[in-house]
């Protein structure tokens, strides 16, 4: 704790915020699928505002915010599209209060219960215009992107719903949707696409609330990581659905082709961390072979009023320090490519 306090008092090279699974809806509290965890649909907005206020007041202002997906809950669309639009506007407003500070959004399953993929591709959500000196390259054809907020730090955002049963209502012939249907039915024969009864082990990931990345996205990822390694950029991967299966052995929140994604990451030493959402209870894991820190952020939606679940990350000479608030633990992640060599290396 003392170490963290003294580190946050040091000046960071760049500071940014992280938040996941806000799942705002203007409705009474409910529960998750297992009916064991409470979802605070309205209060999630208050917790988001508290996080934003903290970032606004900080003497060490955030340069950008990573929003890891499920900004609004699927319940919004039960009252029609207008209600989805209203919820989105309401949930985006706190981010807009961070004037001149861009938010980089990840699209989650709940976002796709409200809108089709085509909506997000055309939306300003995926094309932050306030990026100042931040280089960003989201394509209008894709929901995955990368940007370089510091010469030694690259963010690479994956789209784990590119191969998915969700978000293709207006493009039913899309090859990624057709592939998703074929793959899904190879593994899950239940009538309800979110029912994983009868599935064992890694097959428990075959639910419609998860998804995967396309071969095209894997090729893009490899290209980005190859270049980042050559340029000695430390890389953080962001994703809505997790890609590591170590959590409690349940595998219910895991990308359909996580092994393929991990295989690409393993070939490129630039990756230092993978930040995910989707699994609201949150968990973490350090790969003993590569040292990569995996963090699944606790979801704001299931965080009790009075607490919170967000983090502020700071880039120092030799580490990326993530200071969690409330439900989120803190981490100090060693940089693969230090900004300045440590004394022992000189």
Q: Which residue among 278, 280, 314, 323 contacts Zn ion (CB under 5 A)?
A: 278
- Distance, in Å, from the CA atom of 253 to the CA atom of 243, rounded to the nearest integer, reads 9
Helix, coil or strand: residue 224:
helix
Question: From the CB of 253, what's the least distance to Zn ion, in Å?
Answer: 7
- Select the span of 40-48, 75-83, 142-150, 276-284 touching Zn ion (CB under 5 A): 276-284
Q: Are 96 and 67 in contact (CB under 8 A)?
A: no
Which tokens is 37 given?
């965890």
Nearest-angstrom CA–CA distance, 127 and 141: 12
Q: Which is nearer to Zn ion, 268 or 278 (CB)?
A: 278
- Residue 271: closest CA among 243, 240, 308: 243
CB of 258 to Zn ion, least distance (A): 15
CA distance 206 to 184: 6
Question: Least distance from C-beta 109 to Zn ion, angstroms?
Answer: 4
Applying CB under 5 A, does 157 fall inside the site for Zn ion?
Answer: no
CB of 163 to Zn ion, least distance (A): 16
Site membership for Zn ion, residue 160 (CB under 5 A): no
Q: Find the residue with minimal CB distance to Zn ion.
A: 278
For Zn ion, give the closer residue by CB, 255 or 265: 255
Q: Which is nearer to Zn ion, 117 or 278 (CB)?
A: 278
Q: How far apart are CA 34 and CA 216, in angstroms?
A: 35
Answer for which of 50, 103, 109, 164 binds Zn ion (CB under 5 A) is 109
Q: Which of 39, 43, 48 is nearest to 74 (CA)?
A: 39
Candidates 162, 129, 132, 164; CA nearest to 148 is: 132
211 lies in the site for Zn ion, by CB under 5 A: no
Structure tokens, 319: 């580490």
Site for Zn ion in 45-84 (CB under 5 A): 70
- Nearest CB to Zn ion, comparing residues 70 and 233: 70
Rounded to a whole number of angstroms, the minimum distance from the CB of residue 1 to Zn ion is 31
Q: Is 53 helix (H, G, I), strand (E, B) or coil?
A: helix
State in angstroms the smallest separation of the CB of 289 from Zn ion: 28
3-state secondary structure of 18: strand
Residue from 108, 149, 167, 282 in contact with Zn ion (CB under 5 A): 108
Instruction: Give the strand order in the sheet containing 283-286.
Output: 135-136, 145-150, 153-157, 234-239, 271-276, 293-296, 283-286
**What's the min distance (Å) between Cβ of 293 and Zn ion?**
21
How many chain residues are in contact with Zn ion, going by CB under 5 A? 4
d(CA 279, CA 43): 19
Span of 106-114, 176-184, 216-224, 279-287 interacting with Zn ion by CB under 5 A: 106-114
Using CB under 5 A, list all residues that contact Zn ion: 70, 108-109, 278
């Amino acid at each position: 704790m003392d170490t963290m306090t003294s580190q946050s008092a040091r000046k960071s090279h760049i500071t940014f915020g992280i938040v996941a699974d806000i799942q705002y809806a203007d409705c009474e509290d409910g529960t998750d699928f297992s009916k064991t965890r409470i979802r605070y649909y309205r209060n999630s907005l208050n917790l988001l505002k508290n996080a934003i206020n903290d970032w606004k007041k900080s003497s060490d202002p955030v340069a950008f915010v990573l929003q890891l997906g499920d900004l609004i809950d699927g319940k919004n669309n039960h009252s029609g599209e207008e209600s989805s639009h209203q919820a989105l506007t309401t949930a985006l407003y706190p981010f807009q209060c961070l004037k001149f500070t861009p938010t980089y959004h990840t699209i989650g399953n709940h976002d796709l219960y409200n809108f089709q993929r085509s909506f997000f591709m055309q939306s300003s959500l995926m094309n932050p215009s306030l990026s100042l000196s931040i280089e960003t390259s989201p394509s209008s054809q894709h929901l995955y992107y990368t940007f370089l907020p510091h010469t030694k730090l690259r963010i690479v955002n994956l789209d784990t719903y590119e191969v998915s049963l969700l978000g293709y209502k207006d493009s039913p012939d899309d090859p990624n949707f057709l592939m998703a249907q074929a793959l899904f039915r190879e593994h899950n024969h239940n009538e309800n696409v979110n029912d994983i009864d009868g599935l064992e082990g890694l097959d428990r990931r075959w639910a419609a609330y998860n998804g995967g990345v396309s071969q095209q996205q894997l090729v893009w990822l490899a290209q980005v990581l190859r270049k980042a390694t050559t340029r000695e950029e430390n890389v953080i991967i962001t994703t809505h659905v997790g890609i590591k299966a170590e959590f409690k052995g349940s595998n219910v929140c895991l990308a359909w082709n996580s092994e393929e994604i991990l295989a690409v990451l393993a070939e490129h030493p630039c990756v230092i961390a993978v930040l995910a959402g989707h699994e609201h209870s949150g968990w973490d894991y350090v790969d003993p072979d590569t040292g990569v820190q995996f963090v699944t952020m606790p979801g704001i939606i299931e965080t009790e009023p009075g607490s919170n679940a967000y983090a502020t990350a700071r880039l120092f000479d030799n580490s990326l320090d993530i200071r969690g608030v409330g439900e989120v633990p803190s981490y100090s992640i060693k940089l693969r490519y230090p900004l300045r060599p440590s004394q022992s290396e000189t």
